[in-house]
Structure formats: structure tokens, C-alpha cells
Structure 1
Amino acid sequence: MFAAYVTVTVLASVFTAIAAATYLIGHDYPKAQLDMKRLPHSWMPMLGTFLALGSVGLLVGFAVPLLGILASVGLVLYFVLALVAHLRVGSRKLVGWGVFFVTVVAAVVVNLAHHG
């Protein structure tokens, strides 16, 4: 169980850190996503910060388990809201979203299983 916990948590942290970096550096992909969802570009730093905090929180969870659990739950909520944003504009391009969502849900599951 420990190997799954470490693997899934690190994977989720890496995925969300990469996504955070793209938002924080102003990459074209998140700009296109915001345009598609009809959201302002001024949200990019805030969204990138949320992702970065979640990513760091997952890693801090190795030392402080409660923070890891809270970070993983926070990331699930982030991606639930991202789904709402997709559906609000009628977007059905959800493969990327699905990869992130499954990964952060798995992080919640392994965190709870390992520490619960």
C-alpha cells in the first residue's frame, strides 16, 4: 500500500505542478482553455496558484498527513469546478480533465487508505 500511496501522490503532484507552471508563466494552452470556457485571463495567476498549492500540499502530506489529505480534496474540488466550467459552455472535450480528475481522486483514495 505504501508504494501505491507514494507513487500516486507524487504523480498527482507532478501533474498539477506542470499545470500550475503553464498557468503561472502565461502559456498559450491555458489561455485557450480560459477563452473556450469564457473566463477572464486575469484568473490565470489565481488558478495557477491553486494548482501549485495543491501540488506542494500533496508533497507536504508525506510529513503532515492532514495537509496531504486536505490538498488532495482541494484538488478534487478544483477539478469538479473545472468540469462545471466545461459543461457551462457545452464543451465535451474532457479527456485532459478526466486524466487530472482520476489522478487527484486516486490521490485522495490512497491518502485516506494509507492514513485512515
Structure 2
Amino acid sequence: MYILGNVIVENLPIQRIGSKKLKHLEKREEARRLLKTKVLLDTQKIHHNIQTLQQRCSRERESDIDRLSQISEKRNNEESICRILAGEIELVGEGFDENSKELCITDLLR
């Protein structure tokens, strides 16, 4: 094995390699090096895209959870309003009257 500059040449005596062959081998080695660099950069870009997608999915999941929580709270409030109006829930305590019932329902509607 012989090393000529950055090119490794196997089983060829030095005197048999002409300048054209040497340039060809150097170009192949340069192309191989550039390809390795491109593959490395592409791999890094893919990993970055995967991270970006994971972050976006995480944010969307959190947003979906918040939305479902709001829907659940709204349904609970609507159910409470229906039960108050049906008389299943009595508002008791000092100062509770029809106005208090309306205020309570108004608060639940928000």
C-alpha cells in the first residue's frame, strides 16, 4: 500500500502511476470526502427536523389538552346551570335569593 498525498493506493508501484491517474484518484478521494460531509450534514438536518416535529407535536398535544379541559369545564358549568334551574341544586346560605341564583348562573356562563 502506498500513500500519495491524501490518496491511498493499494498494490500499485509508485512508478506505474502517472499524473493523470494520480489526479483521477485525488478527485475520487475528494468526491468521497465531500459525499461523507454531505451525508453528515443531511443527517444533522434530519435530526433537527425530527426535534422540530417532536416539539410541534408536544405543543399541539398541550393545546389539545387545554382545549379539552375548557370543553369539559364548560360542560360541567352547563350541567350545573341545568341542575340549578331544575331545582336539583339549591343555593343555600345567607343572602342567597333569586338574584343570587342569576348571578351564579351568569358566573357559570363565563
Q: Same fold (TM over 0.5)?
A: no
Rg: which structure is higher? 2
- Structure 1 or 2: more strand by fraction: 2
- Structure 1 or 2: more helix by fraction: 1
Please give the TM-score of this superposition, normalised by the length of structure 1: 0.29
Please give the TM-score of this superposition, normalised by the length of structure 2: 0.30
